[in-house]
Amino acid sequence: MKRLQPTLNVLLAAAVLCGLGACQTTKQSPIDELSTQEGLERVEVKGVDAVYRRPGANLSPYNKLLVRPVYIEFSKNWKPEQDSALYQMNEPDRERIRQGLADMFAEVMVNELQTKGGYQLVTESAADVLEVRPAIVNLYINAPDVSMQTAGRVRTYTADAGEMTLVVELRDSVTGTLLSRAFDRRNADNMSWQWTNSVTNSAEAKRIITSWADTLRNALDASRGKPS
C-alpha cells in the first residue's frame, strides 16, 4: 500500500486511539488539536462527524480530482477467528477484504464524482487539480456465522453489524497545501452488512461509501454555486 505521510499517520493513530466519538466528548480532542495547529478551523457539515477547513480556502478553482488509493486499516480489536473455532482469518484473507473495499471505493468515486458530478478524475498534479487523500480505519466486521468450503478455498460469512471511520484530506495537488479534512464514523447503529467472500458483495458498505462521495461532490458543487 502507498506509504502515508507522517501527518496522516498521526491523524490515523489519533482516530484509532480515541475512536472519534469519544474524542468529541472532550473539550479538545487530539484530532482537534492537530488540525488547529495546522491552521484549520472546525466547521459544521450536515451528516459528517467532524470537518476542518482552512480559513479562506476556495475549492472553486479545481475542476479535476486526483483521488489517491484509499488506505485501509482494520481495528486492532477485530479478531474474527475468536467468533468461531471453524474459521481462521489469516493475512491473505484480510488483504482480499482490503482489496475488495479499495476496489469498491474507487468504483464509487468514479461513478459519483465523474459520471454523475462531471468532475474529471486524473492521475497527475496541476493547478486546477484537487488532491483527495482518503483512508478507512477502525474497520471492524462482526462475523457470528461462518461457513467454509475447504476444497475450493471458498469462505463465506455474514456480518450483522460493524464499524469503520473515514479520514479524508483535500489538498492543492501542486503545493500540497491542506485545504480541508473530514472524519466520519459509521457503527453498528447504522450498518447491517452481508459479506460473502469479499467486501465487494456488501450493499451496505457501498451505500456508505456512496454517501461519503456524495458529500464531497456536494461540497465541490457548492463552491461553484451549482444547485445540490
CA separation for the pair 72, 200 (Å, rounded): 14
Residue 158: which H helix or E strand, with range?
A: strand 154-158
The class that CATH gives domain 6-221 is: alpha beta
CA separation for the pair 169, 4 (Å, rounded): 12
CA separation for the pair 136, 102 (Å, rounded): 9
**Are the CB atoms for 136 and 101 separated by under 8 Å?**
yes
> What is the structure's pLDDT at 195?
47
> What is the structure's pLDDT at 1?
42
Three cell numbers at 111?
Answer: 461513478
CA separation for the pair 139, 98 (Å, rounded): 10
pTM (2 decimals)?
0.79
18 by Cβ neighbours in 10 Å (0-12 / 13-18 / 19+) ranks as middle
> What is the structure's pLDDT at 94?
82
| Cβ neighbour number for residue 215 with a 10 Å cutoff | 20
**Are the CB atoms for 51 and 44 separated by under 8 Å?**
yes
> What is the structure's pLDDT at 24?
54
Residue type, 137: V
Strands 162-172 and 154-158: unpaired
> What is the structure's pLDDT at 128?
96
Partners of residue 137 on adjacent β-strands: 165
> How does pLDDT run along the chain (228 residues), one tens digit per residue?
444 555 555 566 555 555 555 455 445 667 788 888 889 999 988 888 889 999 999 999 999 999 999 999 888 877 776 655 545 667 787 888 889 889 999 999 999 999 999 999 999 999 999 999 999 988 887 653 344 444 444 454 444 457 788 989 999 999 999 999 998 988 655 444 444 444 434 677 888 899 999 999 999 999 877 765
**Are the CB atoms for 108 and 136 separated by under 8 Å?**
no
Three-state secondary structure readout of 14-49:
HHHHHCCCCHHHCCCCHHHHHHHHCCCEEECCCCCC
Judged by DSSP in three states, 190 sits in: coil
